[in-house]
Structure 1
Amino acid sequence: MSSNDKETSYSDLKTLLKKGSGIIVDVRTKDEVDRGRIPGSIHIPVEDVESDMSLDSAEFKSKFGVAKPSLDSSELVFHCQMGRRGAVATEKARSLGFNNARNYAGGYKEWSEKEGK
């Protein structure tokens, strides 16, 4: 884990994706997501984080096709393009009780550079 418990690194995110057990939430706009995304991520625009993360488990699964993370999940990561909106989304999730939610501060910008996309 990153030394900052609210952030995760590129290598930590790669590990999480390999395990296949984490929830990566892309909080960018639909237009941004349509231009490229981290494989396996789900799209929840930053302005919808509070309402979508407040859905009950069945509604969340129906809307996003994945199980809603538990409040104590250490594998819930938010990201945007360069880190700012991801940090906002992480704080929103933490305010809802997802106390271990983290922000991938490098965002899609770092991801696409390292992945050669």
Structure 2
Amino acid sequence: MLSLCFRFRSRREMLRVLNGLGWVTLQRLGVAVRTMAGVPTVSLPELRSLLASGQARLIDVRTREEAAAGTIPSALNIPVSELESALQMEPAAFQALYAAEKPRLEEENLIFFCQIGKRGFLATQLAQGLGYAGARNYAGAYREWLQKEG
């Protein structure tokens, strides 16, 4: 998949890269950007406020190894590869496996994050597709958290 984070040293470099991508790739990039724009996100200041008031439920969708190396306090780790089955489990099975209460469909501020944003975005889309209307993506991801809070 194409990374959506570009940093160019000059306009000329940007044009050279974009010209090299080809028309089909640029169309796909446009679709991806429009799709990402449709997923509800939360900013770092908003996340801080929600956490301070106890109004956020955080799910770290990185691997267990990544989460063990450091995560946002109070986050529950459910790797993105397990997320769909986890969100469809019976509450008792979820509790037994993750030692936490299963999120409710109507839960507000069910916030997903990963290392740089892509898996968190996918997790948010998945949760929304399963009926979790309050699903949101912390687009700054753990990388931003670590830089600003760590």
TM-score, normalising length: structure 1: 0.88
Alignment of 1:54-65 (within 5 A): 54-65=88-99
Match of 1:86? 120
Deviation (angstroms), 1:37: 0.3
Greater C-alpha radius of gyration = 2
Match of 2:140? 106
User: What secondary structure, in the 3-state scheme, does the structure 1 residue paired with 2:95 have?
Assistant: helix
Does residue 28 (structure 1) correspond to residue 67 (structure 2)? The answer is: no
Q: Distance in 2 between matches of 1:37 and 1:31?
A: 11
Q: Distance in 1 between matches of 2:50 and 2:94?
A: 21
Match of 1:7? 41
Q: How many residues align?
A: 114
Identity fraction in percent: 40
Amino acid at match of 2:70: G
Query: Which consecutive aligned stretches of 4+ in structure 1 deviate over 6 angstroms post-superposition?
Result: none
Question: Which structure carries more relative contact order (alpha carbon 8 Å, separation 6+)?
Answer: 1
Q: Going by fraction, where is helix more abundant, 1 or 2? A: 2
Q: CA RMSD in A?
A: 1.7
Does residue 74 (structure 1) correspond to residue 108 (structure 2)? The answer is: yes
User: What secondary structure, in the 3-state scheme, does the structure 1 residue paired with 2:104 have?
Assistant: coil
Deviation (angstroms), 1:18: 1.2
Q: Distance in 1 between matches of 2:88 and 2:54?
A: 23
CA separation of 1:12 and 1:101: change in aligned 2, threshold 3 A: same
**Consecutive unaligned residues in structure 2, runs of 5 or more:** 1-36
Amino acid at match of 1:40: S
CA separation of 1:64 and 1:15: change in aligned 2, threshold 3 A: farther
